[in-house]
Structure 1
Amino acid sequence: MARRGSRRAASEAQRRRQSGKAKHAASGWRLWLRRVFLWGGGAAVLGVIFVALAVLFAARSLPSYASLKASQPGQTIVVRARDGTELVELGPSYGKWLDSSQIPQVMKDAMVSVEDRRFYSHPGVDPIGLMRAVYVWITGERRLQATSTLTQQLARNLFLNSNRSFDRKAREIILAMALETKFSKQQILELYLNKVYFGGGAYGVDSASRKFFSHDATDLSTAEAAIIAGLVKAPSRYSPTADIDAAVGRANVVLRLMREQGRISASEAAVDPSAVKLKKDASQNSVRYFTDWALPQLEILLPETFEPIEVWTTLDVGMQQAAATAIKSNVPGGAQGALVSMDRDGAILAMVGGTDYVTTNYNRATDAVRQPGSAWKLFVYLAALEAGYTPDDRVKDVPVTIDGWSPRNDGRSYAGEIDVRTAFAYSKNTVAAQLGNEVGFGTVASMARRFGITTPISTYPAMVLGTSEVRVIDLTRAFAEVGAGGMSLEPFGIVKVTTTAGDVLYQHEQARSTRLVPDYVAAGMTDLLQTAVSTGTGRAAQIGRPVAGKTGTTSSSKDGWFLGFSSGITTGVWMGRDDAKPVSGLHGGTAPARAFAAYMKYAVKDRPVEAFDTDLKLPDWQLEPDEEYLFGGNPDDYYYIDEQGNLVEPSRPGPGQSQPPDPFPVEGEQVPGVPARRPGPPDEATQAASDDFLDRATGVRPPSPPAVPRPRQTAVPPSAAPAQRPPGN
């Protein structure tokens, strides 16, 4: 009995201890909760006081309403053609300032419905929208997203940038509440509707109405107001001039929200935004390809300025229209086209980057890289002419194999022995391959670099047929430099930049020109290019006056080119599909050449007819006998440098062979063809080499060209050719 009593007492004591611990734990939990509440409440009060002080301070610092009305964001740029004609106005465009009473109520309702349905009840920040955004974030969204109120958007547009940061958002909230403190809802909505950006450079509802509907905003219909209100979320995506379907779809969303919020009736919500008559946007044409290329250069040409400016360009309005028409009229169905036209000083006269800028603003004239096909032979033949070839030299159009590669002519026909002029005119691939192999594929690549090709260049044998991709503007520049007699050109599109008051901020200065190849090389190349148009593959490019040019077609007719010059104007044309799929019937000598001719007939109509200078005034080293003729014998008999740069002695004569004459004989010994040394006084050292040799060695007379390696080629029968269609002309 005693033992059971003691056990009960111990158990009771243990229960009391556990109960005490539970009570202590409960009181500790309540204590911490009380502390969190007190400290949190205190922090909240301090936060409210801080925000209130910040809002009051910001409100006192805000500009007056009149100052906010007068401020204009952005910079207006007026682009003019070479004759002063206004091409396009870019940057912000401001319509007439409309007071709140002048803005149609349907415009106000549309904007409030789609952007801030509780605009008239919140203090600048929407607590309900903010809590909903936090809830969505907590329940699964990765990023906290909150829709800004109209007042917040106005604060951001007036005072801040669009950076996504906590600091910027906090400033935006403070400024929005400050605006609500200082101005009425009516004033805030008036500021917003007159300053918000609607796309296409239009700021404010009046500017947007004039841009899209050709009338001011006081006459906006319900459907027009819905289209404009829908633009704020994404001006470029929902612009009616860029994507009418997207604009109509967004406008229908606005009308539905207006109906749900009771701001319009069911009958008004049933209007058809697609029936709205849109203004034809004259700025969205081929001119924009040119302005997209030229205007970014202002960042380099001008010091930082925010005042309105006028940019005077090199573009010729008539030539631009002719170029756009020539491309659209000749480009094959489903394909795209590009054109660049350049004056003799490098000024861009016309530029077309595609068939329709509204459909696609991708500039194929300056940004796309495509294989040039046989148009690349310009650099092959330039290298050959510089190495000593002339248009009249004889070459062989026969099947060849170079390092395992066997080029084939278009049509698989071979003419045998012909001259260089004929080989170029008929774009003989086998001859181009032999010439490239003889002068060196690296030499051809260097020639292309010399003439302004900036894209990667392959040095494999097939590179002579145009496998390395180029830009239209770069290849056009190369042809223009040949037309300029081998002198360098720098393409440019901006002549001068002025303020609206006429003060000159920038004036173009002609870049210093350097000689790329000797004038006789440029003359020989012009001879070849002229023959290609008069009798060769480019006959469709004839315009009734001298034209020099070259066709280019890649395998399977994926690309077609024609580039040429006449009367000081050089024009390059490319056609093909953006996805690089074959285009049936596309050859450089067909659609591209016809587009070239159609444009050039207009471009040169007011210019005098100019004959090409193809007179080959060859240098002395090409007119005089070479060393082999001077010294006699075989060049292998003399000292030479091998491919590793080592000096190799001449081979010694074998039995029955005579010793070859010494090119530098001892005094008194005469070698046929070499002038004898003039003896000097006995006490004076005699001259070690002939005057002729010293003249050439010291530069008085140009040196003879270095010997080029013989082609590594073997003749193969036509039947051995692989079944592969070569690039065309």
Structure 2
Amino acid sequence: MTAQGPDRPESGGAREGTETRAAAREAARAAALLARQLGRLAGSAGRSAWRSGRDAARKTTPVLARAAGRLRPDGTAAPQVDPVARAEAAPTVRSDHRPSAVRRRRPWLLGLAALVGIPLVILAGYVLTAFATLPPLGGAAPEATQRALVVEAEDGRSFANRGAFQGEKLTEKTLPPRLAQAIVAIEDRRFFSHWGIDLRGMMRALWRNATGGGVREGGSTITQQYARLTSLSQEKTLRRKIQEAFLALRLESTLSKPEILVGYLNTAYFGAGAYGADAAARRYFGHDAQGLTLAEAAMLAGLVRAPSQLAPTRNFGGAKERADLVLQAMVETGAISQAEADKARAQKLTLHTPPETPPGTNYFLDAVAGDVKRLTQETGDVTVRSTLNLDLQSLAEGVLARRLDAEGTKKKVGQGALIAMAPDGAILAMVGGRDYEDSQFNRAVQAKRQAGSLFKLFVYLAAYGSKGFFPDSVLVDRPTQIGEWEPQNSNNRFRGALPLRSAFALSVNTIAAQLGEEVGVPAIIAEARRLGVQSDLPAVPSLALGSADVSLLEMTRAYAGVLGPGVPVEPFLVRGIRGNTAQPLYQRPAQKPGAAMDAQVQSMMLDSLQAVVESGTGKAARVSGLAVGGKTGTSQDYRDAWFVGLTPDMIVGVWVGNDDNAPMNKVTGGDIPARVFHDFVERAQKVLKGRKRPAPSAARAEPIPAAAVAPPPPAPAAGELRGVPEIVDTGTLTIRGRTVRLLGVVGEGGALARQLARYLRRREIICSGDPASSRCRLDGDDLASLIVTAGGARASDDAPSDLIEAEDQARAERAGLWQRER
């Protein structure tokens, strides 16, 4: 390379070449350094491995050490020689004799033996422990649980189930052949040929689970499942599986195959509270196991794999699909022909009970369960014919919830209760609180609160009956003092002279206190006891104004006595109880009316009760075209508000308040309670006159035809709009570019709107009326009623009565937007 002077700069190309060569030399030096470092690391790792093997060899037995040349025959240590020096001094040996290689290999062989042997030893110990702790056969057999109750409404419709169904125990003689074939086909095809454990089946299950990406098939035989059900817990552990196998072998050695199969079918859980095949047959199909059809037997056999998920009362579609698989398995095993399977698939299966207990009826059911326990000592499954009117119950729940939703927050009202009673004492509807799932405390029966002016009934009855007072008798509303007690009117004013009818209607406290002093506290207590009040009643002057704590049921019962032919009226919820035999376990006897109330006293009291509604504090309870009487009640500081009203057909009691006894925002008995009474009674007249609302739906996600809720709307006039709608929300549609709002519907967006869009996809609807408030029809049914009944929207405050009833239905069933968050 030509040298350049200090004042002569290098050319760009020369400088660039020099830099490139320098960079190459630097890279070569770095690579050499890296190679030397890696070589050193490899050598160090090799020496460390050799030393580890040597140390392991030193720890072996003397015999192995001598074989490696480390100990003399007498057991003393041989002198240690450096491995490198030994290798240099050692004579050359033939290639087929390599003691050094053997010495190097033995530590790895020992490690491999330990790697395999130690787990085998642990597994053997685990198996021995599982065997040593093996429970006795039948040691975990389920104990008798609360007997099952099937509860029917007054019209015979089954609507609720409580407890665990046990049914009758099957025997080898009563075992239905089709059910046996179905269970064996779907659960354990080699049941009659294996000896309790089916290794082939286990390997098949392992393969299918491995190739299927998850647990799709179990490897347990029917014998193993029976052992688990009767002797083991349901924990998913290796120890339980080992014990299950041991017990299966023991079962096979002590029982015959038919005995094992019958025992399994008597013990297995089939969902919906049914334990055993006979209980499941009665639970789902309304008859015993011997009456099962092929289609029914296939459905039951399909449930045992996942009873909670496939119970047909909850997932009928899933249960039907599983039943089809069972039928195909029966064809494959030769139990039935393909033609028989096809015929069974086509058979329509009807469930004996509705899918789920309507949530709001649980307060009533709690009370029924207590009565059944008192009325019969039968230990088996029983069916109860109750007094409940499902239509009135659904209506009561919806009316109370709707009123509390609208006004509860503003008026600081947290809870409410309602009882509807027939004149003979039959409980037609019972709402014990706003939501049973939040609180199971029944405020209609268990809560005792101050009745306020509601208690004046007994004061006026005593005055009319024994002291010669009449509704036209006049007393003066004036400052009054009885001992140290000075009763005050709610408005702190005095009206002067008033007839007793007006004093009762306006709930004047001073006149009630004067009457109480006149008739005496003992007479008031006697009247309350005569009409059925059983709570403690303090013998103090303030009792006349309702200072005692009583229940809504007691007060509703007492007011029923004024309407009925005799007192006291005995409230009841159960008309009859029957078991699995034809002979009823209990039948309510014909009740003789109690002592008749004096006709004149009864007439005067009814006159005063009607005055409350016509011109007094209960005017909000008036129902057009119906004779109504009743009484309001408000406790001190507005902590409780009551209204008990009477119609010719029933007595309805309503209470609202707060569980913590907090004051409400000036809510009186003439406010929310009277309005709830009005809403309920007005709509109940249609039910009592024979127009039935739909029963709780069997599939809550599916709308109920509006024809079941209300008569179809009249034929549309000219100018109707037809087309496939686009959904804006569940109350607003777009048809051919025009926006249509459904009359009386408060629409919802989001998921509910998307569900409606899927439901109406490619389906034509017909709308009539003003686009801002249209009624639309789908296949002849009112679209608004379909949507509201399914819980897809709310009814507006000014909605037609059929939509308000539809909302009550949806609320009672927790459908759609009323479904609780879980």
* Correspondent of 2:309 among 193, 203, 209: 209
SS in 2 for 1:402: coil
> Is the counterpart of residue 426 in structure 1 residue 509 in structure 2?
no
User: CA 1:502 to 1:323, structure 2 compared with 1: closer, same or farther past 3 Å?
Assistant: farther
**In 2, Cα distance between the equivalents of 1:585 and 1:179?**
72
Do the aligned partners of 1:552 and 1:560 also contact (CA within 8 Å) in 2?
Answer: yes
Q: CA deviation at 1:281?
A: 6.9
Residue from 102, 105, 115 that aligns with 2:235: 115
Match of 2:724 in 1: none
Residue 461 of structure 1: how far off its partner (Å): 1.4
1:76-155 alignment runs, 5 A limit: 76-92=148-164, 99=187, 104-105=216-217, 115=235, 117-120=237-240, 123=243
Is contact 2:148–2:163 with CA below 8 Å preserved after alignment? yes
State the Cα distance separating 1:604 from its structure 2 match. 3.0
**Shift in Å at residue 295 of structure 1?**
2.6
| 1:401-439 Cα distance to aligned partner (Å, 9 max, x none) | 111111110111111111100100000010111111111
For 1:488 and 1:177, locate their aligned partners in 2 and report how far apart those are by CA, in whole Å: 66
User: Do structure 1's residue 362 and structure 2's residue 441 form an aligned pair?
Assistant: yes
CA 1:299–1:80 in structure 2 vs 1: closer, same or farther (change >3 Å)? same
Letter in 2 for 1:384: A
Q: Map of 1:451-466 to 2, 5 A cutoff? A: 451-466=531-546
The answer to whether the 8 Å contact 1:205/1:217 transfers is no
Paired residues in the alignment total 440
Distance in 1 between residues matched to 2:233 and 2:273, nearest whole Å: 24
- Tell me the secondary structure at the aligned position of residue 641 of structure 2: strand
Q: Which residue of 1 aligns with 2:488?
A: 408
* Structure number, greater radius of gyration: 2
The 8 Å contact of residues 147 and 165 in structure 2, kept in 1 or not, is answered as: no
Tell me the CA shift for residue 568 of structure 1: 2.7
| Equivalent runs, 1:48-59 vs 2, <5 Å | none
Q: CA deviation at 1:359?
A: 2.1
1-side partners of 2:530 and 2:378: how far apart?
A: 34
Query: Residue 289 of structure 1 is aligned with which of 363, 376, 379?
Result: 363
Tell me what 1:593 maps to.
674
Whether the 8 Å contact between 2:566 and 2:593 is mirrored in structure 1 is no
Q: Does 1:301 align with 2:399?
A: no
Contact 1:87 1:287 in 2 (8 A): no
Matched with 1:552 is 633
Task: Using the TM superposition, give the Cα deviation of residue 569 of structure 1 relative to its aligned residue in structure 2, in angstroms.
Answer: 0.6
Q: Distance in 2 between matches of 1:199 and 1:537?
A: 53
Q: Deviations over 1:48-99 (max 9, x none)?
A: xxxx9xx99x76xx79xxxx99x99764332111111111122325899673
**Residue 592 of structure 2 aligns to which amino acid in structure 1?**
R
**SS of residue paired to 2:472:** coil
Tell me the secondary structure at the aligned position of residue 286 of structure 1.
helix
Give the number of the structure with larger relative contact order, counting CA–CA contacts within 8 Å between residues 6 or more apart. 1
Checking the alignment, whether the CA contact within 8 Å between 2:392 and 2:687 is kept in structure 1 is no
Q: Which amino acid aligns with 1:290?
A: F
Deviation at 1:356, TM superposition (A): 1.6
1:497, CA displacement in angstroms?
2.0
What's 1:611 paired with?
none
CA RMSD of aligned residues (A): 4.3
What TM-score, normalized to structure 2? Answer: 0.48
**Which residue of the partner structure matches residue 453 of structure 2?**
374
The correspondence of residues 117-266 of structure 1 with structure 2, limited to 5 A, is 117-120=237-240, 123=243, 195=267, 201=273, 203=275, 206-211=306-311, 214=315
Match of 1:624 in 2: none
Secondary structure in 1 aligned to 2:536?
coil
Structure 2 contact 565–593 (Cα < 8 Å) conserved? no
CA distance in 2, matches of 1:573, 1:410: 21
**Structure 2 equivalent of residue 632 of structure 1:** none
Distance change in 2, residues 1:196/1:591 (3 Å):
farther
Match of 2:385 in 1: 312
Point out where structure 1 has 5 or more consecutive residues left out of the alignment.
1-51, 125-149, 152-174, 221-279, 609-729
- 2:460 and 2:593 map into 1 onto residues whose CA distance is 23
Cα distance between partner residues in 1 of 2:687 and 2:658: 34
Which residue of structure 2 aligns with residue 479 of structure 1?
Answer: 559
How much does 1:205 deviate?
6.0
d(CA) in 2 for partners of 1:348, 1:424: 28
Shift of 1:316: 0.9
TM-score, normalized by length of structure 1?
A: 0.54
Report the more deviating stretch, 490-499 or 473-482: 490-499
Q: Supply the distance in 2 between the matched residues of 1:576 and 1:602 (Cα, whole angstroms).
A: 24
- Distance (whole Å) between structure 1 residues aligned to residue 269 and residue 159 of structure 2: 23
DSSP 3-state at the match of 2:458: helix
| Cα distance, 1:73–1:546 mapped onto 2, change above 3 Å | closer
1:578-608 deviations in Å (ceiling 9; x for gaps)? 1111122421101111111111112234668
Name the CA distance, whole Å, in 1 between partners of 2:648 and 2:248: 63
The aligned residue for residue 122 of structure 2 is none
Counterpart check, 1:566 vs 2:638: no
Aligned-residue sequence identity (percent) comes to: 35
Q: Give the aligned residue type for 2:641.
A: G
User: Hey, what's the Cα distance between the residues in 1 that align with 2:430 and 2:216?
Assistant: 43
Residue by residue over 1:630-652, the C-alpha shift from the partner in whole angstroms, topping out at 9 and shown as x without a partner, is xxxxxxxxxxxxxxxxxxxxxxx
Q: Give 5+ residue unaligned stretches, structure 2.
A: 1-130, 168-178, 189-200, 206-214, 276-303, 323-353, 690-822
Contact conserved, 1:488 with 1:516, CA < 8 A, in 2?
no
Flag the 1:121–1:534 CA change in 2: closer, same or farther, 3 A: closer
The one-letter amino acid of 1:313's match is S
Are 1:393 and 2:477 matched, yes or no? Answer: no
Give the Cα–Cα distance (whole angstroms) in 2 for the partners of residues 552 and 205 of structure 1.
57
Distance of 1:176 and 1:458 partners within structure 2: 68
Quick one: distance in 1 between partners of 2:241 and 2:414?
56
Alpha carbons of structure 1 residues 192 and 526: separation in structure 2 relative to 1, 3 Å: same
Taking structure 1 as reference, are residues 205 and 480 closer, same or farther at Cα in structure 2, changes over 3 Å only? farther
Farther-moved stretch of structure 1 (548-557 vs 288-297): 288-297
CA separation of 1:296 and 1:602: change in aligned 2, threshold 3 A: same
| Residue type of the alignment partner of 2:501 | R
What letter is aligned with 1:568? D
User: Do the aligned residues in 1 keep the contact of 2:449 with 2:551 (CA within 8 Å)?
Assistant: yes
Q: Deviations over 1:172-224 (max 9, x none)?
A: xxx9997698589xx9999899957799735566432235962658999xxxx
Q: What SS does structure 2 have at the residue aligned with 1:478?
A: helix
Q: How does 1:561-640 map to 2 (within 5 A)?
A: 561-605=642-686
- Provide the C-alpha distance between the structure 2 equivalents of 1:475 and 1:592, rounded to a whole number of angstroms: 14
Amino acid at match of 1:446: A
Q: CA deviation at 1:572?
A: 0.4
SS of residue matched to 1:401: coil
Q: CA shift at 1:481, angstroms?
A: 0.5
1:321 aligns with 2:394: yes
1:199/1:352 CA distance change after superposition, 3 Å: farther
